[in-house]
């Protein structure tokens, strides 16, 4: 423990934020790091607990507490405090393949379980992690690590989201030859085309791809396995195949089908087209985006977003940058409490109201929180050309485990753009059918409990495709565990 009294001497201090009305003028990342001296003070707040819940990843009340990667958080916090940044990063890299991703987009399960958070403010684990990885890149601690010996075994990974990248990274460093197939023109999955640029700058993904290619991983983009390339061909050519195709089958909205109503889109399609247009622009300003074609412009429109999760919040931030006339976010679930209840004690995940960056920006621009709870879309109205012009909302309630509408609560509001961010219901059908793999009740690939291997085949699966819709940190954890099982399958043992 670097400083015995650090948690008493120093108050929590987060990285700064560009003010909402300034940051909505661009799609740049808007968090500003604190100075290195203050960062070491923040690391000194870590108590080096005898039982560090921050790295436990244990289940309490049906929810996970602490980091799924079991990051050695007290160890590298101690090294940060002492100024041993290279040693600190070495400890972080031992358990985490891509801290530059999780340091930006992870909701920090570790911090919610931090002992300092029991009666006060938790340690800034999330910001400390990002400091470490960016310092490592800046100071040359991250260099290509090329295996000296190759096993001769060849593995195909289908899908280059965080789980697929983690599988590829682990197996490549083990000495196997790894080829990653990606249907999009860029790798990253939802990291690239689901999470907006202001949360995760796409240069961060390009930087990681370059490193992995230097280390020996082969990326084949623009190839949709199951359509452009047959699964049988891949099974014949490789010693093992790992399916990491995600869970991108969107949950539909009964009242509005994007295929039938003009002005209705699934959120990921909207965000994908926005990012693709932005990547073609000379810079990442809103004006530069508007000179591109292909994106769905929300400027001057009354926008309604269905879904209160991270994707819905990302849609709020994006349409505000476009210049939306108004933004309304509908959430079927009840409004969470502002403070943690006695029934939800530390270190359980706090079931409290979260005001994210998109909500902050909506409050700054429109003067109020855009969220309306316990409400959904009942019907839509279009003009003569089939363009959306109005929606009817209705209050809902859960009774005896069933969702029911509250009669008389209907309300009509103007809406020219409706974005469905209601989550996902599993992997896309053709991705699973191409390899004849069974699926469970959530639409995810079915594997034996505790395993990533589909019995009596050379096929494995990891990430959202196996787990169902989840967090980036869980996808990386799944990829690492799956890679070990693939290695054992190929070699008879594993040192991963």
The pTM (predicted TM-score) of the whole model is 0.96
Token pair listed for 246 = 């995600």
pLDDT at residue 282, rounded to an integer: 87
Residuewise pLDDT in 10s, the chain (496 residues) = 668 899 999 999 999 999 999 999 999 999 999 999 999 999 999 998 888 999 999 999 888 999 999 999 999 999 999 999 999 999 999 999 999 999 999 999 999 999 999 999 999 999 999 999 999 999 999 999 999 999 999 999 999 999 999 999 999 999 999 999 999 999 999 999 999 999 999 999 999 999 999 999 999 999 999 999 999 999 999 999 999 999 999 999 999 999 999 999 999 999 999 999 999 998 889 999 999 999 999 999 999 999 999 999 999 999 999 999 999 999 999 999 999 999 999 999 999 999 999 999 999 999 999 999 999 999 999 999 999 999 999 999 988 878 899 999 999 999 999 999 999 999 999 999 999 999 988 899 999 999 999 999 999 999 999 999 999 999 999 999 999 999 999 999 999 9
Ordered structural domains, the chain, with CATH: 6-138 (1.10.1060.10), 154-249+425-491 (3.50.50.60), 264-420 (3.50.50.60)
Helix axes 125-138, 36-44, angle to 10 degrees: 140
Smallest Cα–Cα separation from 184: which of 307, 271, 281? 271
Contact 490, 444 (CB under 8 A): no
pLDDT at residue 2, rounded to an integer: 67
pLDDT at residue 451, rounded to an integer: 97
Tell me the Cα Rg of the chain: 23
Cα-Cα-Cα-Cα torsion 216, 241, 231, 184, nearest 10 degrees, comes to -50
- Positive or negative: CA dihedral 184, 189, 193, 197: negative
The β-bridge relationship of strands 177-182 and 16-17 is unpaired
pLDDT at residue 326, rounded to an integer: 98
Element (H, E) at 402: strand 402-405
Smallest Cα–Cα separation from 192: which of 223, 152, 161, 222? 161
Could you write out the three-class secondary structure of 298-311?
CCCCEEEEECCCHH
The β-bridge relationship of strands 371-373 and 326-331 is parallel
Token pair listed for 346 = 């530390």
Query: Cis link prior to 269 (omega < 30° from 0)?
Result: no
């Amino acid at each position: 423990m670097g400083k015995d009294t650090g948690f008493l001497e120093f108050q929590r201090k987060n990285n700064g934020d560009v003010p909402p009305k300034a940051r909505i003028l661009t799609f740049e990342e808007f968090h500003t790091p604190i100075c290195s001296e203050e960062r070491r003070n923040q690391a000194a707040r870590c108590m080096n607990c005898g039982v560090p819940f921050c790295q436990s990843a244990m289940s309490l009340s049906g929810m996970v507490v602490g980091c799924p990667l079991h990051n050695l958080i007290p160890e590298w916090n101690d090294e940060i405090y002492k100024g041993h940044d290279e040693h600190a990063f070495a400890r972080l890299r031992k358990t985490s393949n891509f801290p530059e991703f999780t340091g930006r987009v992870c909701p920090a399960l570790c911090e919610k379980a931090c002992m300092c958070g029991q009666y006060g403010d938790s340690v800034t684990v999330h910001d400390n992690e990002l400091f470490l990885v960016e310092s490592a890149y800046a100071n040359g601690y991250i260099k290509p690590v090329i295996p000296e010996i190759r096993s001769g075994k060849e593995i195909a990974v289908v899908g280059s989201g965080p789980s697929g990248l983690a599988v590829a990274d682990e197996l490549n460093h083990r000495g196997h030859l790894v080829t990653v197939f990606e249907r999009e023109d860029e790798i990253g999955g939802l990291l690239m085309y689901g999470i907006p640029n202001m949360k995760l700058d796409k240069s961060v993904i390009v930087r990681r791809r370059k490193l992995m290619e230097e280390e020996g991983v082969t990326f084949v983009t623009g190839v949709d396995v199951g359509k452009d390339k047959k699964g049988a061909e891949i099974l014949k050519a490789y010693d093992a195949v790992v399916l990491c195709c995600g869970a991108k089958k969107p949950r539909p909205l009964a009242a509005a089908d994007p295929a039938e109503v003009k002005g209705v889109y699934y959120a990921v399609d909207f965000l994908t087209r926005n990012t693709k247009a932005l990547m073609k622009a000379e810079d990442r300003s809103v004006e530069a985006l508007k000179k591109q074609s292909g994106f769905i412009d929300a400027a001057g429109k009354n926008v309604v977003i269905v879904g209160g999760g991270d994707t819905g919040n990302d849609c709020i931030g994006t349409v505000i940058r476009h210049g939306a006339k108004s933004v309304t976010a509908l959430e079927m679930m009840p409004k969470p409490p502002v403070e943690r209840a006695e029934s939800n004690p530390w270190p359980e995940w706090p079931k409290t109201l979260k005001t994210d960056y998109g909500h902050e920006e909506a409050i700054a621009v429109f003067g109020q929180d855009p969220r309306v709870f316990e409400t959904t879309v009942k019907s839509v109205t279009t003009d003569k050309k089939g363009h959306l012009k109005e929606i009817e909302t209705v209050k809902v309630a859960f009774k005896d485990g069933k969702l029911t509408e509250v009669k008389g609560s209907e309300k009509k509001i103007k809406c020219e753009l409706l974005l469905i961010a209601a989550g996902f219901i599993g992997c896309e059908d053709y991705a699973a059918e191409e390899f004849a793999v069974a699926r469970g009740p959530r639409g995810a690939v079915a594997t034996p409990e505790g395993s990533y291997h589909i019995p009596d085949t050379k096929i494995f699966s990891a990430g959202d495709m196996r787990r169902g819709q989840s967090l980036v940190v869980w996808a990386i954890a799944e990829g690492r565990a799956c890679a070990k099982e693939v290695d054992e399958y190929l070699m008879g043992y594993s040192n991963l």
